[in-house]
Structure 1
Amino acid sequence: MSARQLTVRFHGALNDFVAPERREQAFTHVLQGSPSVKDLIESLGPPHPEVDVVLVDGKPVGFGHRAEADTNLDVYPASVPVPQVAKEAHLASPLPEMPRFILDVGLGRLSGFLRMLGFDTLWRNDYADDLLARLSHDESRVLLTRDLGVLKRSEVVQGYYPRATDPAHQLVEVVRRYGLTSRMRPFSRCIACNAPLSTATPDEVQGRVPEGVAQRHSHFQQCPGCQRVFWPGTHHERMQNLVDTLRKLEQST
């Protein structure tokens, strides 16, 4: 009996997860049983949260569609427009005006950057994989992780695998992927504990900042959660430069 086969092609950034000899081209895959499109795609590499459109013989299908022999499967990420595909055929969920995030243990510095930009971002160094996936689903948070096993869990709806290892480069990736520059509210959230910041007068922070800072500055912010105090010092200037760079990147794309 001849093998049951179908033809598969991944498009755009999804090729980052595919074996080199299969990138940017159609290839033949031997079917084992009758897997769902989601399971078939993930068995070949890409995690389902990065998939936006799946076409079988040119017609859009959902993740639950059963793969069949002698068909052509095209898989697209959100970054690649697919002409003549209805809005409801897109599998990626739309972001709210202010998206919220949850990050795995290896992305601690990225979490600080996202909080600096004003985004509600959960991060702990002891999140278990099942808790990451569950919180992402239950609280409608975008899961950012470099663990493909976590990203492929069925309960994860929105998620992204940062390709870069440098946190600043990861931030650029995430900002571009989700179009965050227009949503940024810099310096509105505590980078340490994620709580929204409030303004504070010099009298309110007296004794909680170095004497020289108290003499040079009159504008402060404080965190109601961890009680940290922030002011526009050299660190603030570096972060402002990063914000300006991100805005310029969007204007150039």
Structure 2
Amino acid sequence: MNAFEIRVEVAPELALFVPQARRAGATALAVDGVSTLGHVVESLGVPLTEVGTLLVDGRAVPVSHIPSAGESVTVRPVARPQRIPEAPLRFLLDVHLGTLARRMRLLGVDTAYESTDIGDPALATRSAAEQRVMLSRDRGLLRRRELWAGAYVYSTDPEEQLRDVLDRFAPELLPWTRCTACNGLLRKATKEEVADQLRHGTRQSYDVFAQCLSCGRAYWKGAHHEQLVAIVERALAESAGPGLP
């Protein structure tokens, strides 16, 4: 089958995925008349997890659309906040996002995290089995068909990563309710219940404790508590939006 051309314009928000030569305005692209528009977009380097509306000559089309000669395609980013209506909003992070995972758990967001590299197939399978949004900077992982849902993490800075995830998905924030080590739920605990985890100075200085229902880890307002409070307060303020308390 002979190839023909379409015109493709990628939104500025998605330009980082596209080769430099194709970033400025609409660009001609050869297609075969068989491949779907979703495949064409991915061939440019844009993961479909990052694609919102696809417009062909001004009308919205699905990723399964087969392009025809001369069509003009506009690739828009995902609208924010992105809604995931099929299941409760929860996440799965790969081995490179440990700090982000701990901060999301600190805010009470259901966040699974793989601390070892179990490989893309296993991560995608877990995403599907547990209906978790896969967060990663690995574009290849985000292109795997078995993923339930996914999102690219645009920054390498944990603070910016957290801000971006909260802006994109707007999860409900319930600070201090999850274990930052294992994602389990926390409960109030007495000093006697967690005594075996406390050093003498801690036993003398603190009276309020929490304990993870899953792994048993004890928590109290230790030396780093002010730093954690700052993370929580900043996230709550930014999530409230402008003009809100």
- Taking structure 2 as the reference length, what is the TM-score of the superposition? 0.89
Aligned counterpart, 1:128: 119
Within 5 Å, give how 1:106-117 maps onto structure 2. 106-117=96-107
User: Structure 2 vs 1, CA of residues 223 and 136 (structure 1 numbering), >3 Å: closer, same or farther?
Assistant: same
Task: Flag the 1:54–1:224 CA change in 2: closer, same or farther, 3 A.
Answer: same
Query: In the aligned structure 2, how far is the partner of 1:98 from the partner of 1:215?
Result: 41
Q: Evaluate the alpha carbon distance shift between residue 97 and residue 34 of structure 1 in structure 2; reply closer, same or farther with a 3 A threshold.
A: closer
| Pairing 1:188-199 to 2, within 5 Å after superposition | 188-199=177-188
Q: How does 1:39-188 map to 2 (within 5 A)?
A: 39-79=39-79, 94-95=84-85, 99-124=89-114, 125-180=116-171, 183-188=172-177
Name the aligned partner's letter for residue 152 of structure 1. R
Aligned in 2, Cα 1:3/1:65: closer, same or farther, shift over 3 Å?
closer
Cα distance per residue 1:127-185 (max 9 Å; x no partner): 221111122123221111111011011222421111211222211221112123xx111
Residues 229 and 116 of structure 1, relative CA distance in 2, 3 Å threshold: same
User: One-letter code of the match for 1:160?
Assistant: A
CA gap of 1:33–1:96, structure 2 versus 1, over 3 A, is closer
TM-score, normalised to structure 1's length?
Answer: 0.86
Q: Tell me the alpha carbon deviations over residues 90-122 of structure 1, each in whole angstroms, 9 at most, x when there is no partner.
A: xx7635795211111111221111111112211
The question of whether the paired residues in 2 share the 8 Å contact of 1:190 and 1:197 is answered with yes
Please list every run of 5 or more consecutive structure 1 residues that lacks an aligned counterpart in the other structure.
Answer: 82-91
Cα separation, partners in 2 of 1:24 and 1:197, compared to 1, 3 Å: farther
Match of 2:198 in 1: 209
Would you say how many aligned residue pairs link Structure 1 and Structure 2? 241
Distance 1:164 1:231, change over 3 A: same
CA contact (8 A) 2:89 2:132 kept: yes
Question: Secondary structure at 2:221's aligned position in 1?
Answer: coil
**When you count strand as a share of all residues, which structure comes out higher?**
2
CA–CA distance in structure 2, aligned partners of residues 205 and 252 of structure 1: 41
Deviation at 1:195, TM superposition (A): 0.9
Gaps in structure 2 of 5+ consecutive residues: none
CA distance in 2, matches of 1:179, 1:156: 21
- Give the conservation status (yes or no) of the 8 Å contact 1:93–1:157: no
CA pair 97-3 structure 1, distance change in 2 beyond 3 A: closer
SS at match of 1:52: strand
Letter in 1 for 2:104: L
Partner of 2:26: 26
What SS is found at the alignment partner of 1:106? coil
Q: 1:107, 1:145 within 8 Å by CA — same for their partners in 2?
A: yes
Query: Is the 8 Å Cα contact of residues 53 and 76 (structure 2) preserved in structure 1?
Result: yes
Aligned residues with identical type, % of pairs:
37
Task: Tell me the distance in 2 between the aligned counterparts of 1:143 and 1:29.
Answer: 30
1:44-99 per-position Cα deviation (integer Å, ceiling 9, x unaligned): 01101111111111111111111222101111112479xxxxxxxxxx76357952
Alpha carbon RMSD of aligned pairs, Å? 2.3
- In the superposition, relative to structure 1, how do residues 20 and 242 fare at CA in structure 2: closer, same or farther (>3 Å)? same
Q: Does the Cα contact within 8 Å between 1:148 and 1:161 map onto a contact in 2?
A: yes
Are 1:5 and 2:17 counterparts? no
